[in-house]
Chain A
Amino acid sequence: MLKTSPFHSRTAPLMQANQWRRWAGYNVASSYEMTHDREYLALRNATALIDVSPLCKYKITGQDALAFLNRLVTRDVSKCSIGGMLYTPWCNSQGKIIDDGTIAHLSENTYRLTSAEPNLRWLEDSASGLRVHIEDVSEELGSLALQGPKSRELLMTLTDAPLGSLKYYGYLNTTIADVPVMISRTGYTGDLGYEIWVSADKSSTERVWDAITTAGKSFALQPAGIWALDVARIEAGLIMLDVDYTPANKAMADLQTSTPLELGLNWAISWNKGNFIGRKALLAEKQQGSSISLVGLELDHAEFERQHHQLGLPVPYPFTAWRSVIPLYVNGEQVGYTTSGTWSPTLKKYIILGHVKPQHAVLGSVVTIDLELDRYRRPFNAKVSKLPFFNPARKKDTL
């Protein structure tokens, strides 16, 4: 049997279409309604509530906690003060990415790391010789993502905490309906949004869920599933484990692995913080250049439409994000591949995450992708464009 999230008693009654999916051994909603359209729209125009409890969470304590984390991840954790969080990938010693997640600096010598996959073993192995204690707290914490332009206003009706001044990747501790919570200005949508971390016991999770959804009635709040989230994260240019990259410890062959440099995470590598796992290999890659680079691609939608019309067909819009590897060509030669794509209702563009050889990764480069036109496959142009595709000012603003 799959496990259920600590919010299951509240999410299950909302489910209209029996569209559950599996996430890290848990049942979560793909969408609660028959389609995820309204859930996505709420996310970008009002606010959406997403149960992200299956995330793996580790509490790291001890006098070497910082030294340990700085050895583990590519970013400089010493820059993260108490009350702050950061996003970072981590790698094996070949510089191949194992996972990515966030680190919250909770108190002196205490941090919390989140990851997509269980990492306890890797963390323990990487901590040898250091005075740290690593505890898997995945099942002790529930987490909700409250995302979208109205998320702040909504939360401010529930707490007096200074949310207006809470910065992007900051967090604060407060209560919602008398339940202690941590609210962080984080999310997987590239929008204004928060994540609410609460003890996983039923009374806490139910009270927090109820308070948010009740207040949400004034803000067109919509509980949302993974389908809505998936469209938003592609718009935000955020990579997903198992989709846009294969974790190094899962790869059957080296060809399946990726490095942070290949995934456009150069900004998340702190070269000057001292040694960290994979630094040597990544430095070599930085000097020699990567063999492939993550890019955003915009499909030539006008041509896609024209060709459909020519055949007398309506244009299909992929409202549900796809996760397929489709080869990308330049002059008949394969130069890369895709890993995700979707129609962006907000941008009115067909957007794709691709991986291409560096000479084709410059903005404005054009590659060819074969897409299905009913029963045919036809080549279409896709242009390399800036990531994130969607990056509203409200993502980082403060009041």
Chain B
Amino acid sequence: MNNHHYDVIVIGGGHNGLVNAAYLAKAGKRVLVLERRHVVGGATITEEIYPGFKYLIGSYLISLLRPEVIQELELMKHGLEIMPLESTFVPLLDGNYLADWPDHDATKHEIARHSKRDAEAYDEYSRTMRRLALALRPLLDMIPPDPSSVTPNDLATMAKVANVFDQLRKDDFYLLARLMTMSAGDFLDEWFECTPLKGTKATSGIIGTFMGPRTPGTGYVLLHHYLGDVDGVFRAWGLARGGTGALSQAIASAARQAGAEILVNSPVAHVIVKDSVAVGVALENGDEYFADIIVSNADAKRTFLKLVEPQHLPSEFLHDVKRFRITSPACKVNLALDGLPKFTSLPKGKEALLRGSIEIAPSIDYLERAYDDAKYGGWSRKPFMDALIPSMLDPAMAPPGKHIMSLFVEYASSDLEGGWNEEKKAEFLDVVIDTLAEYAPNLKNIILHKHIMTPWDLENTFGLTSGHIFHGEFALQQLFFLRPSPQWSNYRTPVSNLYMCGSSTHPGGCITGAPGRNAAMAILEDCK
């Protein structure tokens, strides 16, 4: 057992680790994936915590998954099915609501009820975001260049980056420069006047980030969430049949078919480094595995502050990793329901809206207040929620007639004053349910079981430092060639033969598969 030698060992079987393993195995490498839990997928997972109900305890929707990853790993052949969410429903407490339907005219009529001007602006806004997204998407698949370097590789990539910006219309380029540096809220104020429309659009700017909609930099986060597509439909988000765990299983199946070995229940204790070269890993149970190349799917802090001993790392790099901003505000709630929640503001005949996203985001001010509450180590008294009833699209997620509801909730600080414990979890879960029940009064009567993943649980369960779903904040100073550290944004690390393939690297979090794939490209480049 102890003398096994592989070409590559991937630490962590999250979706990016699996993607990385699949690509390297396909390239002929002998690959071993070591996963600490009993199941692969990391936070991309479906778990039946309450019998008969499949909970999405981590990630819940797919959009940014690179089409290349789907095609090249033939994920559909391995069981992946993606069902697009068609609508967004924003219930309001005054009895009104806002809806975004899949149809252009239908959406326009909905928005025109609130503001005719916004109904028109919305068209132009969507087209503008689509053009920006279309132009920027190639950046997702790039190994970030070092702009200070003049090596042929970096220069060639910089030329590609320049080309990306060259593709943009002039007015779009200026707009992009502004969007990148401003807050989502200020940006939306320039487009719209309707309060709930701005509220729901601003949510893309704060999902997963510990920033408020008025924090500069959330403009980029907003755009990031527009970079995805489902079958070429930009900004579309989809539910994997069987939940996001089904996606992880599909990638794992592709990896196995390509020859990768996957070991679960195998937590890695540390990376074995000899003479500044990574040569293997030691498990918590003492087993050791050796390989020419070690890839870490764990976040940068976990990798370099826990798995690698500090004497192997340059002080400057350690400093970068330590200051990497990773405080997280995101929680995940799952509810097993005896029936459907009845939203007071949902008009008769529009029940189809329950098949899409349901957003508790009535205004930018509401979101900003939610952030204010959490900023100093607290939680929102009225949290923002991105809800979804997956069983409406995939009936197998719950027993017949029953439903599950998945709620992405912000903000509750990972640095909670006094620390998280079971009582505080229960308390915040009540805040979430009380808030939602204001919009759907029957909610409390139909809850069969409730479950919350706070940042504390996300850290304990998945090993995400601070429970940060993006492995580190999506702040401008932590993106592209600065992610996670300048000079080490190209998936390589100061330790020879040690690589990163998780969301602490470009292009960051969400289910993209891009860090895993890009890292595989970097590794294969070095193997030439």
> Within 8 Å of chain A (Cβ to Cβ): is B388?
no
Contacts of B108 in A (CB 8 A): 25
Interface residues of A in 218-255 (CB under 8 A from B): 249-250, 252-254
- B 101-117 binary contact with A (CB < 8 Å = 1; else 0): 00001101100000011
Question: With an 8 A cutoff between CB atoms, is A264 at the interface?
Answer: no
A3 in the interface, Cβ–Cβ < 8 Å? yes
For the residues of B in contact with A, the DSSP-based class is: helix
Query: How far apart are B278's CB and chain A's nearest CB, in angstroms?
Result: 46
By the criterion CB–CB under 8 Å, are B169 and A124 in contact? no
Given contacts A3-B109, A25-B105, A25-B109, contact A252 B120 (CB under 8 A): no
Query: Distance (Å) between the CB of A115 and the closest chain B CB?
Result: 11
Return chain B residues, CB-CB under 8 Å to A252: 127, 130-131, 134
CA distance A3 to B119 in the complex (A): 15
Complex alpha-carbon distance, A47 and B124, angstroms: 39
Residue from A3, A250, A254 within 8 A of B127 (CB atoms): A250
A23 to B169, CA, bound (A): 29
Residue numbers in A under 8 Å from B123 (CB-CB): 118, 250
B120 touches A118 (CB 8 A): yes
Chain B residues, Cβ within 8 Å of A124: 117
Q: Is the CB of A121 within 8 A of B134?
A: no
Q: Quick check: A253 and B169 within 8 Å, CB to CB?
A: yes
A118-B119 in contact (CB<8A): yes
Given A25-B109, A252-B127, answer yes or no on A121-B121 (Cβ-Cβ < 8 Å).
yes
B244, chain A: closest CB distance, angstroms: 31
Does A286 lie at the interface of the complex (its beta carbon under 8 Å from any beta carbon of B)?
A: no
Docked-complex contact A120 and B130, CB < 8 angstroms:
no
Partner of B105 from the list A2, A119, A120, A136 (CB cut-off 8 Å) is A2
Question: Could you say which residues of chain A place their CB within 8 Å of the CB of B131?
Answer: 252-253
Bound Cα distance A1, B107 (Å): 10
Give the complex CA separation of A250 and B134 in angstroms. 15
Contacts of B109 in A (CB 8 A): 1, 3, 25
By a beta-carbon cutoff of 8 Å, the part of chain A in contact with chain B is 1-3, 22, 25, 118-121, 124, 136, 249-250, 252-254
Q: Are B169 and A121 in contact, with the CB atoms below 8 A?
A: no
How many Å lie between the Cα of A120 and that of B124 in the bound state? 12
CB distance from A94 to the nearest CB of B (A): 9
Contact A121 B105 (CB under 8 A): no
Q: Which 6 A-B pairs have the closest CB atoms?
A: A25-B105, A121-B120, A118-B120, A121-B121, A121-B117, A120-B120
* Chain A contacts for B120, CB-based, 8 A: 118-121
9 cross-chain CB contacts under 8 A? A118-B120, A118-B123, A119-B120, A120-B120, A121-B117, A250-B123, A252-B127, A253-B131, A253-B169
Contact B124 A249 (CB under 8 A): yes
Minimum C-beta distance from A60 to chain B (A): 15
Q: Name the residue on B nearest A136 (C-beta).
A: B116
A252 to B172, CA, bound (A): 10
Q: Which residue of A lies closest to B105 (CB)?
A: A25
Knowing A22-B105, A250-B127, A253-B169, the reply to whether A120 touches B117 (Cβ < 8 A) is yes
Q: How far is the CA of A118 from the CA of B112 in the complex (A)?
A: 11
Contacts of B121 in A (CB 8 A): 121
How far apart sit A2 and B105, CA to CA, in the bound complex (Å)?
7
User: How near does chain B come to A221, taking the closest CB pair, in angstroms?
Assistant: 31
> In which size bucket is the chain B interface?
10 to 19
For A121, give its contact among B106, B124, B127, B130 (CB under 8 Å).
B124
Chain B residues 114-168 with CB under 8 Å of chain A are: 116-117, 119-121, 123-124, 127, 130-131, 134
Query: Once bound together, how far apart are the Cα atoms of A203 and B468, in whole Å?
Result: 62
**Closest A residue to B169 using CB positions:** A254
Complex contacts, B106 vs chain A, CB 8 Å: 1
Chain B nearest CB from A54 CB (Å) reads: 11
CB-CB under 8 A for A120 and B169, given A22-B105, A252-B130, A252-B131 = no
Residues of chain B touching chain A, judged by Cβ–Cβ distance below 8 Å, are 105-106, 108-109, 116-117, 119-121, 123-124, 127, 130-131, 134, 169
A3 vs B127: C-alpha distance when bound (angstroms): 23
Residue among B108, B109, B117 with the highest chain A CB neighbour number at 10 A: B117
Separation in Å of the B119 CB from the closest CB of chain A?
A: 7
**Chain B residues whose C-beta falls within 8 Å of the C-beta of A25 in the assembled complex:** 105, 108-109
List A contacts of B134 (CB < 8 A): 252
- Shortest distance between the CB of B145 and any CB in chain A (Å): 26
Q: Smallest CB–CB gap between A171 and chain B, Å?
A: 26
- Beyond the given A121-B120, A252-B130, please list 17 additional residue pairs across the A-B interface where CB-CB is below 8 A: A1-B106, A1-B109, A3-B109, A22-B105, A25-B108, A118-B119, A118-B120, A120-B120, A136-B116, A249-B124, A250-B123, A250-B127, A252-B127, A252-B131, A252-B134, A253-B169, A254-B169
Chain B residue numbers with a CB within 8 Å of A249 are 124, 127
Residue of B nearest to A257 (CB): B169
Instruction: Give CA–CA (A102, B108) in the complex, Å.
Output: 24
Q: Shortest CB–CB separation between residue B194 and chain A, in angstroms?
A: 13
Q: How many Å lie between the Cα of A253 and that of B127 in the bound state?
A: 11
Looking at the assembled complex, report how far the CB atom of B138 sits from the nearest CB atom of chain A, in whole angstroms.
15
Chain A contacts for B130, CB-based, 8 A: 252
Taking CB atoms, residues of chain A closer than 8 Å to B117 are: 120-121, 124
Bound Cα distance from A249 to B130, whole angstroms: 13
Residues of A within 8 A of B127 (CB): 249-250, 252
A3: B residues at CB distance < 8 A: 109
CA distance A257 to B121 in the complex (A): 19
Which residues from A are CB-within-8-Å of B124? 121, 249
**Cα–Cα, bound, A1→B120 (Å):** 18
Q: Which residues of B contact A136 (CB under 8 A)?
A: 116
Query: Distance (Å) between the CB of B111 and the closest chain A CB?
Result: 11
Question: Which residues in B have their C-beta under 8 angstroms from that of A121?
Answer: 117, 120-121, 124
A250 to B108, CA, bound (A): 15
Q: Which residue of A lies closest to B349 (CB)?
A: A1
CB-based nearest B residue for A56: B120
The docked-state distance in angstroms from the alpha carbon of A136 to that of B109 is 14
Of chain A, the residue at the smallest CB distance from B131 is A252
Name which residue of chain B comes closest to A252, CB basis. B131
Report B-chain residues with C-beta under 8 Å of the C-beta of A253: 131, 169
Q: State the CA gap A249–B171 with chains docked (Å).
A: 11
How far is it, in angstroms, between the C-alpha of A2 and the C-alpha of B119 when the chains are bound? 15
Chain B residue with Cβ nearest A2: B105
User: CA–CA, A108 to B88, complex, Å?
Assistant: 46
Q: Compute how far the CA of A2 lies from the CA of B108 in the bound complex, rounded to whole angstroms.
A: 10
CB-defined contacts of A254 to chain B, threshold 8 Å = 169
Residues of B close to A22: CB separation below 8 A = 105
Provide the bound-state CA to CA distance between A3 and B106, in Å. Answer: 9
Residues of the A chain whose Cβ atoms lie less than 8 Å from the Cβ of B116:
118, 120, 136
Distance from A243 Cβ to chain B, minimum over Cβ atoms (Å):
17
CA distance A249 to B131 in the complex (A): 12
**Bound CA–CA A124/B121 (angstroms):** 11
Considering the chains assembled together, what is the distance between the CA atoms of A249 and B122 in angstroms? 12
Which residue of chain B lies nearest to A121 when distances are taken between CB atoms in the complex?
Answer: B120
- Closest residue of A by beta carbon distance from B124: A249
In the complex, chain B residues whose CB is within 8 Å of the CB of A120: 116-117, 120
Min Cβ gap B351→A in Å is 15
A274 to chain B minimum Cβ distance, whole angstroms, is 25
Query: B64 CB to closest chain A CB, in angstroms?
Result: 20
CA distance A118 to B120 in the complex (A): 7
The CA of A252 and the CA of B130, in the complex, are separated in Å by: 8
Q: Quick one: closest A residue to B168, CB to CB?
A: A253
CB-CB nearest in chain A for B122 = A121
Alpha-carbon distance between A149 and B509 when the two chains are bound, in angstroms: 66
* Measured CA separation A290–B106 after assembly (Å): 39
Residues from chain A with a CB closer than 8 A to the CB of B105 are 2, 22, 25
Alpha-carbon gap, A25 to B105, bound state (A): 5
What is the bound-complex CA distance between A211 and B525, given in angstroms?
79
Report the nearest A residue to B103, measured CB to CB.
A2
Say how far B173's CB is from chain A's closest CB, in angstroms.
12
Q: State in angstroms the CA–CA spacing of A22 and B130 once bound together.
A: 24
Please measure, in the bound complex, the distance between the C-alpha atom of A254 and the C-alpha atom of B173, giving whole angstroms.
13
CA–CA, A120 to B105, complex, Å?
16
Instruction: For B106, give the chain A residue with the smallest CB separation.
Output: A1
- Min CB–CB distance B130 → chain A (angstroms): 7
Question: Within 8 Å CB of A118, what residues of B?
Answer: 116, 119-120, 123
